[in-house]
Chain A
Amino acid sequence: MNAIDLLLALALLLLAGSALLARSVQTASVLFIAFGLLLALVWVRLGAPDVALAEAAIGAGVAGALLMLAASEFESRRIGGSRAAGPRLPWPRPQGWRPRWALVLLALACAAVLLLAVLAIEPLAGAATEAVARNLPQSEIAHPVTAVLLSFRAYDTLLEIAVLLVAVVAVQAAPAPPQRALAHDPVLARVAAITVPLALLVALYLLWAGSSRSGGAFQAGAVLAGAVLLARFASLPLDPQSRLTRPPVLALGLALFILIGLVAGALAGAALGYPSGWVKPLVLAIEAALMVSIGATLVALFGGSKTA
């Protein structure tokens, strides 16, 4: 813990507080993105580059863009009122503000329970790290984070993907927002024509790197989604038919994960296990399918708006 860490932690708290207390949804969204970027830096300082990549790509990037989109949607539906200020949040209340004691008590009780739960956790003192390091050679995966995600705790990852699929099905079942025509912009189109291929390359690199160092399907999927969305906003003909967000693509990752988990698991003698010698190709295949599905899911969350 040195001065930089202390400064980062203080800035993080400050940003979190100002995002909560912001007067408009737009301001809060921008502060949330700044918060996510700073949080990614904190993860880097903690020696967790995988989490930092995920936080920057998904937490700050995708979630931030979704919040901004929702804020602008919210604003465009507003009738009257001052446009510049944006939608007002019910906080802080300028007048007639009385503390709601029941809510205050409930919040304090929740905080107390959480504190007790945290204090009750037995300190692991690196036991998990040791266990991972001990079993890493056996897993045939070079990167410990990937080994945990796709070998030691593959069940958790499988359920996460299932949750993502359920979420996107729910989003697609809701009525689509009105499609807004995007004006063609020559500058954006030119910059995107350079950036989108680079982003696709980065996505593939992150996927490939995941087997030996930081990277993986989640980060690669987020970058893929960013590339597709940038192409869409710049009217580039990448995925013009929105084929990426069709149900077979969305379900591909989960389906392949279950299939390989059952077939390879039957050969290996345990569900979600891999027969020895086949670990790297199978994990790469699962991760590739997951990348496509995660990217498609994130694109689908932005709604089906197409270019004019």
Chain B
Amino acid sequence: MLEALTWLLLALAALFFSAGTLGLLRLPDTLSRIHALTKADNLGLGLAALALLLHAESWAAAAQIGLIWLLALAASATSGYLIARRCLLESHGTPASTLGAPPPGAPPP
């Protein structure tokens, strides 16, 4: 039962990581890429941490896994925000370069 749940969680984590990576590779502009990466990867990391929590040897080890997940969450959210802010600042100087530029061939809004 525990094994099955662990494998299910790990498979879901891998799915979310793959979705995030696919988004990073395929989405047209920087902001959507950051969005795909941070959101999907944080969820994937959370699922992987949950799978590891099921096998933690002690409460201290479980707390460490939880703390690592929280720190990674804060780091990824902050760096995503910082990249997005830099991107916004740059886009004020150069319109439609990377920020919010429609994919080639898209109809104008």
A residues adjacent to B (C-beta < 8 A): 83-84, 185, 187-188, 191, 194-195, 198
Nearest residue in B to A234 (C-beta to C-beta)? B78
- Choose from A83, A84, A185, A194 the contact partner of B74 (Cβ within 8 Å): A194
A191 lies within 8 A of B97 (CB) = no
- Of all A-B residue pairs in the complex, the 3 with the closest CB atoms, nearest first, are A191-B78, A187-B81, A191-B74
Tell me, in angstroms, the Cα distance from A132 to B82 when the chains sit together.
47
A84 lies within 8 A of B71 (CB) = no
A195 lies within 8 A of B74 (CB) = yes
B78 lies within 8 A of A188 (CB) = yes
Tell me, in angstroms, the Cα distance from A194 to B70 when the chains sit together.
12
Q: Mark B88-106, 1 if CB is under 8 A from A, else 0.
A: 0000001001100000000
* B85 at the A interface (CB under 8 A): yes
B97 lies within 8 A of A84 (CB) = yes
B residues adjacent to A (C-beta < 8 A): 71, 74-75, 78, 81-82, 85, 94, 97-98
Tell me, in angstroms, the Cα distance from A187 to B75 when the chains sit together.
11
Tell me, in angstroms, the Cα distance from A194 to B82 when the chains sit together.
17
Q: Least Cβ distance of B109 to chain A in Å?
A: 23
Contacts A84-B97, A84-B98, A185-B82 supplied; 12 other A-B pairs, CB < 8 Å: A83-B94, A185-B85, A187-B78, A187-B81, A188-B78, A191-B74, A191-B78, A194-B74, A195-B71, A195-B74, A195-B75, A198-B71
Nearest residue in A to B85 (C-beta to C-beta)? A185
- Choose from B71, B82, B97, B98 the contact partner of A188 (Cβ within 8 Å): B82
What chain A residues lie within 8 Å of B75 (beta carbons)? 195
Nearest residue in B to A198 (C-beta to C-beta)? B71
Tell me, in angstroms, the Cα distance from A31 to B64 when the chains sit together.
29
What chain A residues lie within 8 Å of B94 (beta carbons)? 83
5 A-B contact pairs sorted by A residue (CB < 8 Å): A83-B94, A185-B85, A187-B81, A188-B82, A195-B71
What chain B residues lie within 8 Å of A191 (beta carbons)? 74, 78
Tell me, in angstroms, the Cα distance from A26 to B3 when the chains sit together.
43
Tell me, in angstroms, the Cα distance from A194 to B75 when the chains sit together.
11
What chain B residues lie within 8 Å of A194 (beta carbons)? 74
Q: Least Cβ distance of A287 to chain B in Å?
A: 24
Q: Least Cβ distance of B88 to chain A in Å?
A: 12
Tell me, in angstroms, the Cα distance from A200 to B29 when the chains sit together.
37
What chain A residues lie within 8 Å of B74 (beta carbons)? 191, 194-195
Nearest residue in B to A192 (C-beta to C-beta)? B78
Q: Least Cβ distance of B17 to chain A in Å?
A: 15
Tell me, in angstroms, the Cα distance from A188 to B81 when the chains sit together.
9
Nearest residue in A to B97 (C-beta to C-beta)? A84
Tell me, in angstroms, the Cα distance from A198 to B74 when the chains sit together.
13
Q: Least Cβ distance of B85 to chain A in Å?
A: 7
Tell me, in angstroms, the Cα distance from A73 to B82 when the chains sit together.
18
What chain A residues lie within 8 Å of B85 (beta carbons)? 185
Tell me, in angstroms, the Cα distance from A221 to B30 when the chains sit together.
35
Tell me, in angstroms, the Cα distance from A188 to B94 when the chains sit together.
25
